[in-house]
Structure 1
Amino acid sequence: MWSFAVLLILASGMFPLQAIIGQGASEVAWKSAYLTVFAVVVSLTVVATRGWHWQMLSCVTLTAIALWAYHFPKIGVAFMPALDEGTTLDMPVTVPRASVTQAADDLKARDALLRGFPEVESVIGKAGRADTPTDPAPLDMVESFVNFRPREYWPKRVLRFDDALRQADSVLSQLEQDGFVASAAAQDDRASLLNDAAQKALERFDEAQRELALTRYRDFEKSLGARLVRHGVERTVRRLVQSGGWKWPPGTEKAAVLEELSTPLDDELNPWLGSSPALEDVTRLVKSVVDEGTQRGFIADAVQAQELHRPILSTLISGVQEAFGAPPTTLPQDILADVVRQKHELWLEQVHDTNWDLFDHGVQAYTWYVMEELARAATQHGLIESARRGAETDAFAAAALRGQLGETPEPATVAGFVPLREQLERSFADWVFLWPRRTGPKGDLVDDEMGRVLQVPGWSNIFTQPIINRIEMLSTGVRTDIGVKVFGEDLDTIDGVCKQIEGALKPLNGARDVIAAPIMGKGYLEIDIDREAAARYGIAVEDIQNEIEMALAGRAVTFTVEKRDRFPVRVRYARAARDDVDSIKRLLVSPGGMNATPAMRTTASAMGTTTGGAVGSMAEIPTVEGDHAASPGHALTGRPLIPLSALADIRIVEGPAMIKSENGRLLNYVTLNVRGRDIVGFVDEARRVVAEKVKLPEGVHIEWSGEFEHQVRAAQTLRIVFPAVVALIFLILYLTYHDLADAALMMLTVPEALAGGAFFMYVFPKIMHGWDAPPMDFSVAVWVGFIACFGMATETGIIMLVYLREAIEKRGGLEQISSLEELRQAVIEGAVHRLRPKLLTEGVAIIAIFPMVFARGVGGEILAPMALPVLGGLLISDEVVDLFLPVRFYWVRRARWLKLHNHKPSDLPTASRPESLNAA
């Protein structure tokens, strides 16, 4: 009983108990649930323990274990496990005033940096709005789709930081021993020196390894197409020879003929076969070979020569496939399969050779880099003045700096360090391993290395994946994991609050790509007409507005009729006359608004106004003849053209690029991604931080949006599903056995299975990715696994219960059992003598789960979270069932036997008392 209690308390310390009741990642709810579990488990254990000293010992030990488990790292809460789509979507953000040319140039620069990774196969970029009416993307929104190579083609070029730090420690110890560097006074100073040097050396190491791998791959790809063309030609000729359609004349130089057949196809098919072989390309290759063979006399009948001749087994398999609807296999399809297979084999050979080159280069490069960084850091920390050979270290550090700037260091300055490097390289190569990069939301390729390399001025990085990005934008309205919607009355206030929230969220653990969407920053041309200046020149405001409209927007002056359609003919100034502010200031406006035509005067008089604008009564309407008396003299003759700058204030002002609104209110977003922790827990912490640090003005409120909203809705559903599942299992057990006690015994496997699943969720990621890896998050997929686990764990308990009940029935039931010793022997017989079929049933289920746990590829991220709770629950619950269930069953049957035979526990002999059950 005590062991069972320990198991439950340890599992409760790491499992999000509050998520079971729909409380997400609330820390307060977890504390309440944990204390409840602790109180119930300890109480039941103490009550079931005999003897006050054993009760005291159980209470003290369980309390100590509970205090220890309270500080365990907690399993996070998320909606669904993050999928690795095999493609990354780069969606950076820049200022809204970016022009088309700037956006295109920066997009090319970013894509060029992305293509500099050996893991990247292709990059496709787009800036601005797509040609669809539903795409609201402004010009400053860029999307680059990064397609990766297959995982088996990724080079092993990564040195883990722990290994890098270990080598840096060895190098520093050797430098101290040889007198190049003095020992640091404090251990903390030495650790700081090592960390800084190892980090900087590792960044240089990553860059060098990346460039070397990319060079090797590009050189290989240049020759890959020609090799595949030659292979396709050889396989085609071989198949034609096997079919009997190709006859080699005696004395023919086969190699020369194959070379002649391959050479004309190189330029045409090289790029396509090297990148992505397709059936159309191989069909052209086969046709070219057959045509050339026919012309040279090697083939008599081209149609008969292309018939496939396969072994009987292959022919039967093809016939079965065609019977089920598969298309018939042709010669080009057969050759295509050979070409694809050959391409894969060539790539694997190249990756193997590249990995060896990277290892040899990496061992040398990192050792030298860390020596340079340690020498430079020691110089900055003042550790070379008192060193015996400090002058050499100083010269070496200066030479290293010049080497990074492109200068070749003098041999004399590094001569003393070359033997030391060779010595350290040999020991380093004996134990170090290089690893490939990991992609996906939890990998280090995108968030770590790409984030460091992709630093383009004026752009903020946002990395996501295409499918999940579209889902998030459609379901939540934001393109990242989390979005904070800020609602308010005016844009300036909203922008200020967004920047405060951005500053509050950036320091949080797990926050990535925190960006307050820029509202202001778009340049607008503002023309403020000076009415007094216009009046001095005798120009009406309407005339100025008409001139601006004509120059900038154009005006429809007539229509052209083409059959049944009428099209407006718009006239506006040439681009050179309106391209910038200075050009617009030079626009000419002709006076005439205040010097109206007689027709205009008549209209004005009829309306009760003069052309000068004076308002009179209908009885007294003055008639104005000639120009207005207030018009200056120079405006009365010749109608001169006045520049627009003399009539208006013209300037560029900053304004919003896009005005967003929702439910009739203005809003803006603060977007961010979460890495290295669960989203629901991060949102709970972020809400507390924002509430503490950001004071919202009157009329402003915020809403949190993102994937966690789905988790909240799922939790509400699971709050009903979980009790329903447990109740349904109990009901089925009761209807099967018609015994509440036996059904309750079976239900005790549910918390045991829950504990086993929690242990595996915590330990399995650490086994696969290192002890620093976070536990697997509690998600809907995990919930599905636990529900299946509850049923399967109960099933294993049923098998044990069947044999225990059978052992009692063989002795005629409790009525025919004469003593508790006989009852105990019956229970032991049912538990031990039938152990083989129980283990066989359990083992088959466990083995069937293993492929799901280690599933790889797209979708494997969903299978593992579903399988882990089942596997862990079965392993733990099986052991608990085999050990605890017989004891519990004995206690239930013992109580019934005593009641049936009217015995009291005090009347029993010592051998039949409960203490003797320890033997069981």
Structure 2
Amino acid sequence: MANIFWMPIQTRTEMLTTGFRSVLGIKVFGPDLGEIQKLAVQIEKELVDLPNTRSAFAERTVGGYFLDFTVNREAAARYGLRVGDVNDIVESAIGGKNITTTVEGRERYPVNARYARDFRQDIDALKRVLVATPTGAQVPIDLLADIRYKTGPPSVRSENGKLVGFVFVDITTTDIDGYVRKASQQLSQRIQYPPGYYISWAGQFQYLQAAKERLKIVIPLTLLIIFVLLYMNTKSLMKTVIVLLAVPFSLIGAFWFLYILGYNMSVAVWVGLIALAGLDAETGVVMLLYLDHAWEKFRGEDRMNNTRDLHDAVMEGAVGRVRPKIMTVCAILFGLLPIMWSPVMQAGADVMKRIAAPMIGGVVTSAILELLIYPVIYVIWRRRELPDRTEEEPSPIVPPTLVPSHRVRHHLPRIIATTLIAIGLIYGASFVWHKASARKIANSPFATQTVNDLTVKLIARAGQLQKGDNNVLIEFRDSDGQLVDVGDVNFTIDMNMPGMMMHGGGPAQKTETTGQYRTKVKADMAGNWNARISYDGPRGKGEQSFSISAK
């Protein structure tokens, strides 16, 4: 049984793409199924307590019960029978055998014959099954074969010429690669694999690794195609390099935006980065186009004689054409921003957001850096073509057109003060909100337990545990009702079901108030959960298990 609850179509899709009915899986290879099951159960126990593990279930490769017929060749030979004659009786009389096919119009049905249930419902009845000998005598099968129950594998899996067992793993995080690294490190430290046995990660991780290998080819090929197309258009290697400088500029914003949103690297993010390279080429070409137009204009008017003329041309091509560049960037942003507002539960929203996020962050920083850095690079490049490279007077670091006016400089302190006040109000409101939430939580205990000589209160904002994410406040009080520090606190919940186990909770964090701890608990479904709270610190060690209900 799979250790997750999915819609049938989703389970089918996962099976077709990864071969597993869960997000992650571990394949245990080896020559013996019993040892494979032993290692798989050890892996299951290690992964259950690993952070971000929702559940882990090791497939039982042995333990099935079978009825085994072992033919006694010598006894069968005394009656003139062969092993195949005895096995034919086992097949036809006990298991059933198709003897003919009946035709009913356009339909055909096989006719299967075997002993009635009364003659094969237990071992004693099976021992009385008669076997016909060549002389016509009927001999009980008990005289020809040894019949007994035997344990064995319910199913046998093999891969790459070796026996294999599966461990199904379901996780709560989207960082599959990071989870696999931590899990692999823990398994390698705590489990010793006998010679000839090893494990291999499968599921979405295997699919991710295959995608990474393909991206190692796709990404360089994409950059090469962009480079060739730009070179064919500009007919200049230097111009092509200048345009492609937008790629590292954009990566700055892309990775910062991914960090702010908490997105991990995935195939969708890499697709967004590939698309971002194309957008960078577009915005870079627009900037270079206006700079070239200004350069050609000044040369046509015979005004490109010294560095001052070059600076004027760059100012006209860069600063004087800000509006069309900003419109190009805004058109890209306004087309991508609605994707980020898509509801989380909408089909495909997770993938589309991760594609659009690096494009949005990258376009913003690319546009800013292009407006600041491109003109400088262009001046350095074109300066070699001037007849007179000397400066008439030192050029200001900041172009005069960008220097704030006297009115702006007069109001600048007010603008800065207003901005700082707004930031302070935002942070203050956030602080008050968290404090108010804490007080609101403190009035809604949903469970009280006694551990040793301490009273433990579990408090939730809604007054009870809810399905989904829950912020739980834990209080420890002594016999006088005073809050006391107990050191390290751990609070977990589990729900055991046939073939699977769901897990939530983990270590609790200390708050500013002595004796109060906070933890995040995720209940994947409503119902009764087995809760466990433990502590280890100045008040000694304590542990208590109890039942709670999630609505």
Structure 2 length-normalised TM = 0.59
Contact 1:527 1:651 in 2 (8 A): yes
| Separation (CA, whole Å) in 2 of partners of 1:811 and 1:751 | 31
Matches of 2:267 and 2:48, distance apart in 1? 28
Shift of 1:750: 0.8
Report the counterpart of residue 827 of structure 1 in structure 2: 314
| Change beyond 3 A, Cα 1:466–1:757 | farther
Q: Aligned equivalents of 2:200 and 2:246: distance in 1?
A: 42
Partner of 1:60: none
Determine if the alignment matches structure 1 residue 553 to structure 2 residue 42.
no
For 1:893 and 1:684, locate their aligned partners in 2 and report how far apart those are by CA, in whole Å.
Answer: 50
Q: Which residue of 1 aligns with 2:333?
A: 846
> 1:795 matched to which residue of 2?
282
Residue in 2 aligned with 1:660?
A: 157
Q: Is the CA contact (8 Å cut-off) linking 2:290 and 2:317 kept in structure 1?
A: yes
The structure 2 residue matched to 1:721, chosen from 199, 203, 218, is 218
Please name the residue that 2:476 is paired with. Answer: none
Q: 2:383·2:389 contact (CA, 8 Å) conserved in 1?
A: no
Aligned to 1:514: 56
Counterparts of 1:564-583 in structure 2 under 5 Å? Answer: 570-572=113-115, 574-576=116-118, 578-580=120-122
Q: Does 1:884 align with 2:377?
A: no
1:912 aligns with 2:453: no
Query: 2 CA distance for matches of 1:555 and 1:714?
Result: 49
Provide the C-alpha distance between the structure 1 equivalents of 2:99 and 2:374, rounded to a whole number of angstroms: 95
- Following the alignment from structure 1 to structure 2, what is the Cα–Cα distance between the partners of residues 726 and 589? 76
Q: CA deviation at 1:479?
A: 2.0
Q: Against the structure 1 CA distance between its residues 570 and 465, is the aligned structure 2 distance closer, same or farther, given a 3 Å change threshold? A: closer
* Residue 511 of structure 1: how far off its partner (Å): 3.0
Deviations 1:177-219 (A, max 9, x none): xxxxxxxxxxxxxxxxxxxxxxxxxxxxxxxxxxxxxxxxxxx
Q: Distance in 1 between matches of 2:335 and 2:99?
A: 79
Aligned to 2:538: none
CA positional deviation for 1:498:
1.8
Question: How do 1:31-46 residues align onto structure 2 when only pairs under 5 Å count?
Answer: none
Superposition map of 1:479-518 within 5 A:
479-518=21-60
Distance of 2:87 and 2:369 partners within structure 1: 89
Q: Which has the higher contact order (CA 8 A, sep 6+)?
A: 1
CA distance in 1, matches of 2:68, 2:254: 65
Deviations 1:506-525 (A, max 9, x none): 33333333111112232223
Pair 1:807 & 2:348 matched: no
C-alpha contact (below 8 Å) 2:56/2:168 kept by paired residues:
yes
Classify the secondary structure of the residue corresponding to 2:113. strand
Q: Which secondary structure does the structure 2 equivalent of 1:812 belong to? A: helix
- Specify the SS of the correspondent of 2:50: coil
Q: Distance in 2 between matches of 1:873 and 1:864?
A: 14
The equivalences for 1:61-460 within 5 A come to 92-93=1-2
Give the distance between the partners of 1:725 and 1:864, measured in 2 at CA: 22
Shift of 1:659: 1.8
> For residues 239 and 98 of structure 2, what CA distance do their matches in structure 1 show?
94
RMSD: 4.5
Q: 1:893 to 1:916 in 2, by over 3 A?
A: farther
Q: Distance in 2 between matches of 1:818 and 1:759?
A: 43
Q: Which residue of 2 aligns with 1:308?
A: none
- Aligned equivalents of 1:547 and 1:794: distance in 2? 76
Partner deviation per Cα, 1:106-147 (whole Å, 9 max, x = no partner): xxxxxxxxxxxxxxxxxxxxxxxxxxxxxxxxxxxxxxxxxx
Q: Deviations over 1:246-288 (max 9, x none)?
A: xxxxxxxxxxxxxxxxxxxxxxxxxxxxxxxxxxxxxxxxxxx
Inter-CA distance 853–558: structure 2 relative to 1 (3 Å threshold): closer
Residues 18 and 207 in structure 2, CA contact (< 8 A), matched pair in contact too:
no
Q: Relative to 1, partners in 2 of residues 1:805 and 1:499: Cα closer, same or farther, differing over 3 Å?
A: same
| C-alpha displacement of 1:671 | 1.8
Structure 1 range deviating more: 888-897 or 871-880: 888-897
Cα contact 2:102–2:109 (8 A) shared by 1: yes
Q: How many residues align?
A: 396
| Kept after mapping to 1: 8 A contact 2:93/2:113 | no
Name the larger-Rg structure: 1
- Secondary structure of 1:667's counterpart equals strand
Report whether the alignment pairs 1:745 with 2:288: no
Deviations 1:776-832 (A, max 9, x none): 233333333222222222322322223333333333379734543443333223322
Distance in 2 (CA, whole Å) between partners of 1:469 and 1:669 is: 16
Tell me, in whole angstroms, the C-alpha distance in 2 between the residues paired with 1:468 and 1:567: 36
Q: Distance in 2 between matches of 1:843 and 1:562?
A: 73
> 2: distance between equivalents of 1:680 and 1:846?
30
Question: How many Å separate the matches in 2 of 1:566 and 1:729?
Answer: 64
TM-score norm. by structure 1 comes to 0.37
Instruction: Flag the structure with higher strand content.
Output: 2
> How far, CA to CA, are the matches of 1:918 and 1:694 in structure 2?
69
* 1:707 partner amino acid: Q
Task: Answer yes or no: is 1:862 the counterpart of 2:351.
Answer: yes
In structure 1, give the amino acid aligned to 2:394.
S
What secondary structure sits across from 1:463 in the alignment? coil
1:749 Cα offset (Å): 1.0
Are residue 872 (structure 1) and residue 369 (structure 2) matched?
A: no
Q: Measure, in 1, the Cα distance between the counterparts of 2:283 and 2:334.
A: 15
The separation in 1 between residues aligned to 2:380 and 2:91, in whole angstroms, is 98
Structure 1 residue 672: Cα displacement:
1.4
Could you tell me whether the CA contact under 8 Å between 2:58 and 2:166 is conserved in 1?
yes
d(CA) in 1 for partners of 2:166 and 2:40?
A: 7
**Aligned position for 1:524:** 66
Deviation at 1:669, TM superposition (A): 1.2
Q: Does 1:690 align with 2:168?
A: no
Which protein is richer in helix relative to its size?
1
Unmatched 5+ stretches in structure 1: 1-91, 94-460, 601-638, 765-774
Q: In 2, distance between residues paired with 1:894 and 1:916?
A: 19
Q: CA deviation at 1:477?
A: 2.7
Shift of 1:527: 6.1
Contact 2:24 2:203 in 1 (8 A): yes
In structure 2, the CA distance between the partners of 1:579 and 1:819, relative to structure 1 (3 Å rule), is same
In 2 relative to 1, CA 719–588 (structure 1 residues): closer, same or farther, beyond 3 Å? closer
Shift, 1:738, TM fit: 3.8
- Aligned residue for 1:670, secondary structure, equals strand
Partner residue, 1:635? none
The secondary structure found in structure 1 opposite 2:299 is: coil
Cα distance in 1 for partners of 2:227, 2:102 equals: 82
In 1: Cα distance, 2:129 partner to 2:73 partner: 14
Percent same amino acid among aligned pairs? 33
Tell me the SS of whatever aligns to 1:501: helix
Aligned equivalent of 2:254: 757
Distance 1:896 1:689, change over 3 A: farther
> Which residue identity lines up with residue 191 of structure 2 in the other structure?
V
Report the equivalent of 1:80. Answer: none
